[in-house]
Amino acid sequence: MGEDRPVGSSEPVGKALRGALLPVAAGVLPTFLVGALAVQIRGDLDFAESGLGLLSAVFFLGAAVSSVGLGRVSERVGAVLALRVGAFGTAAILLAVAVLGRSYVVLLGLLTVAGVANALIQPAANLYLARAIPASRLGFAFGVKQSAIPAGILLGGLAVPAIGLTVGWRWAFVAAAVFAVAAALALPAAQPLAAPLAVPTHWRPRPTPRARSPWPSPSGAPSPQPRPGCSVPSWSARASRRD
C-alpha cells in the first residue's frame, strides 16, 4: 500500500538521511516558532505569559496521545507516504497560523493539530531509516535524525532577527510553511531499501558431526549416539544384546 515499495537498488546513505531529516525538522517548527516569537505573538494576540506554556503543552499533548495510533498508520501506508502527508499537513498548519491565528483560542487549536502531524512524522521517519539504512550504520542514522529537532530550534531562533523583527512574525510562519513543503517534495518517490548482505555463492554450511557416546560398547568400538527420549541404561542394555 502507499509508496512504501522497493526501488530496486540502495540509495546513498546521505540521500536517505535527508529524506528523514527535513520532515522531522519541519514537524517541530510550529511549537519552536511560537516560543521564539513569543514576544511578537503576545503583543499581537494579547494573552498572558502562562498561555505561552499552554501552547507548548498542547502541541506535545497532541503528539503524545496520537503517536501510537499514527505509528501503526505509518506501517500500513508506508513511511514515505506518511512523511509526505505529515510534512504537507505541517505546512498547512503553519499557513493557517499566519492567516487565521487572530486569537489565542485559534492558535491553541492549531498547535494541538500540529502536534498530531508531528506524531505522524516521527515514527514514519524511524521506519524510513530502519528500511533505508544498512544495519551497521543505523546508530549514526538515528543520531542524525535526532539532530533534526535541535535544528528546528535553530531555525526558530534564526527566524526572529531575520523575519520576525523585520517583516513580522506571521511571515516567519509562511517561510516555515515553504520549508515544510520543500521537505515533503524532497522525499523519494518510493521507499529506498538497504542493500542486503552479500553471501558468497560458494559458501556451504559444514555438516554437523555425529556425536559419539562416551560409553564404549562391549566389543571395544565406540557406541552410536542414543536416540532422543531413550534412557541411558535401557539403551546400553539393548546395545549389549546386539553385540
Distance CA 184, CA 171 (A): 20
Distance CA 111, CA 222 (A): 78
Residues 178-185 have a mean pLDDT of: 95
Q: Is 226 helix (H, G, I), strand (E, B) or coil?
A: coil
Cell of 119: 506524531
Does domain 13-185 fall under CATH 1.10.10.10? My reply is no
Distance CA 186, CA 177 (A): 14
The C-alpha torsion from 9 through 14 and 17 to 22, rounded to 10°, is -120
Instruction: Please check the confidence at residue 64 and state whether its pLDDT lies above 90.
Output: yes
Q: Which amino acid is at 69?
A: G
Q: Which amino acid is at 100?
A: L
Residues 54-65 have a mean pLDDT of: 94
> Which residues neighbour 223 within 8 Å (Cβ) at sequence distance 6 or greater?
212, 213, 215, 216, 217, 236, 239
Instruction: Please check the confidence at residue 7 and state whether its pLDDT lies above 50.
Output: no
In this predicted model, what pLDDT tens digit does every residue of 76-121 receive, in sequence order? 999 999 999 999 999 999 999 999 999 999 999 999 999 999 999 9
- C-alpha distance from residue 164 to each of 26, 33, 36, 38, 157 (Å): 18, 10, 9, 10, 10
In this predicted model, what pLDDT tens digit does every residue of 186-212 receive, in sequence order? 888 777 676 554 444 555 666 666 655
In this predicted model, what pLDDT tens digit does every residue of 32-55 receive, in sequence order? 999 999 999 998 998 888 888 999
